[in-house]
Amino acid sequence: MKNKLVILLLIMFNIVWVSAALTIFLNKDKKEETNELNIVTTFYPIYTIANNLVTGIDHVNLINMTENATGCLHDYQMTTNDMKKLENADILIMNGGGMESFIEDIAKTYPNLRIINASDGIQLIKEAKEADEESVKKDDVKESEDYNAHVWLNMDKYQQQIENVKNGLIKLDRKNKSLYEKNAKVYTSKINQLNQELKETLYKPVNDKVIIFHDAFSYLAEELGIEVAYSVEIEADTSLSAGDIAKVIDEIKRNNIKVLLTEKQYGDAIAKSIANETNAKVYTIDSLVSGKPDKDSYINGMKKNIEVLKKALYE
């Protein structure tokens, strides 16, 4: 009787084990069939690139780690919500060039997370204390605040970022290579057309020296071939001392500067107070670091910038 009971228990155990193994196998097979890819971008400009590149790819889930209104990530502190988004991520796409100072912590916390650097191999502008800016080649982009990370405002370099993201996605998701290539070609074509419009419209500007109130505009100036006579560093919660303001005014008068370019996100109060003491005029440019989750947001924003620059550089 005992032998029969033991045999019966063994049979029941085997049935349960086989059933469990079969369930795991079927669930694994089902997961492989769906094969969802979770992609996270660090902030809005990179989200816009990725949003264009994943068009029509059903298995991809794309989210932006930071809020679309966050702006630049200088001194950004990771939140609990950010970390939750990264827990299930397969790929993180970053801007690079020193924008994400927290990237090393992410890499240590999530060692299996695959990271795409959109600025890899792009020639960045080296930060300088005064007006001098030196372009340097960075094949292996190391995170450093010594470099200006606002690459996307130069459309030639923005197209390089698109190419980098495309190549990174293809490397990690080869079965959708043709779709990534198709989407990149479509988006790059739109950017290239807009880039030609920028260069033709703003060819040989009358006002070829400017003062900028955000270092992002160094890339716009670089592409247009205009000189940044002085760069004023202003954040949302900072102001200029009387001595700094006097220095800017002196620079305007000494170089006969007529154009002050301010950033939409930070306002123009300081620039206007300086303009009142000189013959310079204030023009507001969008650095395109925030907005709606719209695939054409970069294009629409840059078109508005071109209209502003028409007035600024030719009046």
| Ordered per-residue pLDDT tens for the chain, 315 residues | 544 544 544 454 444 333 433 433 444 444 444 579 999 999 999 999 999 999 999 899 999 999 876 778 877 899 999 999 999 999 999 999 999 999 999 999 999 999 999 999 999 999 754 434 444 444 443 444 589 999 999 999 999 999 999 999 999 999 999 999 999 999 999 999 999 999 999 998 999 999 999 999 999 999 999 999 999 987 655 678 888 899 999 999 999 999 999 998 888 889 999 999 998 999 999 999 999 999 999 999 999 999 999 999 998
CATH number, domain at 259? 3.40.50.1980
215 and 233 belong to one structural domain: yes
172 and 153 belong to one structural domain: yes
Q: What does the alpha-carbon distance between residue 24 and residue 202 come to, in Å, rounded to a whole number?
A: 62
208 and 128 belong to one structural domain: no
In a domain, 17, yes or no: no
262 and 285 belong to one structural domain: yes
Closest CA to 39 of 88, 111, 100: 88
In a domain, 261, yes or no: yes
222 and 81 belong to one structural domain: no
In a domain, 8, yes or no: no
In a domain, 263, yes or no: yes
Sequence-distant (6+) residues with CB within 8 A of 156 are 195, 223
φ, ψ at 178 (rounded to 5°): -65, -35
In a domain, 111, yes or no: yes
* Domain span holding position 304: 202-314
Q: How many domains does the chain have?
A: 2
Q: In angstroms, how far is CA 291 from the centroid of its own chain? A: 12
71 and 217 belong to one structural domain: no
Q: What does the alpha-carbon distance between residue 158 and residue 153 come to, in Å, rounded to a whole number?
A: 7
44 and 158 belong to one structural domain: yes
252 and 270 belong to one structural domain: yes
